[in-house]
Amino acid sequence: MDGIHDMGGMHGFGRIEIEENEPVFHEPWEGRVAGIARHLRAPIPGGTRYQIESLEPAFYLASSYYEKWLHARINALAESGVITASEFEEKLAHYRTDPDAPLPDGKPVAREATSSGSDGAPVASSKPRFGVGDRVKTKQVHPEGHTRLPRYLRGKTGEVIRIYRPQGFQDHEPLSDHQGPQPMYAVKFDGKEVWGASVEPNSSVVLDAWEAYLEIEESKIENRRSRIRSRG
């Protein structure tokens, strides 16, 4: 999906500050949020990444890593009907008034398991469609759900430099007629292709891309057609 989280190529955010000897958690509450996120057994509509990417842009930019995790799960619980907005606000007001009030001693609620099996769609072949050295172009798509195809690389042409083993497609929406594992590639893009003439010399970007993200470069298709016509 297109959102403020897809910050590749954006300007004006300043340098990335690297914290020396950065701890895993800066505050105790961050560890608790990590525990909640790992052990919460409740539906997350659209998936965790979709919920994080759907946060209001100003809040997203001003929030820390674990604040995003926390609020994404609060929104997911409300959206899935596990809690209501009024219930959440009531509990929030209660603990703001009395921070030392005991936490509920509730028992886990058993939930009916849902099947994640095949829906009959064909499974992608593990045989790669592209080879090392092939010129490929990323698809120009704008899915509503989560995608790992960054906006600044959509519609760009690059070269396959490595082929990985098939891996499960993690986007929220399918970009092909297949489901399940599919080949992944390391695709190298020249800096000028991505950033234009003002780019630093000899720069490049490498994207790990599922096969569903890629299509063969149009010029290569035409070359193949020309070879076929010449043979005929």
Domains and CATH numbers, the chain: 28-97 (no CATH), 135-231 (2.30.30.50)
- Let me know: does 1 contact 148? Beta carbons within 8 Å: no
| Alpha-carbon distances, residue 22 vs 50, 67, 153 (angstroms) | 27, 17, 31
Q: What is the pLDDT along the chain (232 residues), one digit of tens a residue?
A: 777 787 777 777 778 788 899 999 999 999 999 998 898 888 888 888 889 988 999 999 999 999 999 999 999 999 999 999 899 999 999 999 999 998 877 665 554 444 333 444 455 557 899 999 999 999 998 888 788 899 899 999 999 999 999 998 888 777 777 667 899 999 999 999 998 988 889 999 999 999 999 998 765 555 555 555 565 5
What would the pLDDT profile of 2-42 be if each residue is shown by its tens digit? 777 877 777 777 787 888 999 999 999 999 999 988 988 88
What would the pLDDT profile of 128-151 be if each residue is shown by its tens digit? 999 999 999 999 988 887 888 998
This model's pTM is above 0.75: no
CA 54 – CA 146 distance, rounded (Å): 9
The pLDDT assigned to 117 comes to 38
3-class SS at 15? Answer: coil
Structure tokens that stand for 223 in this block = 């070359």
CA 177 – CA 167 distance, rounded (Å): 16
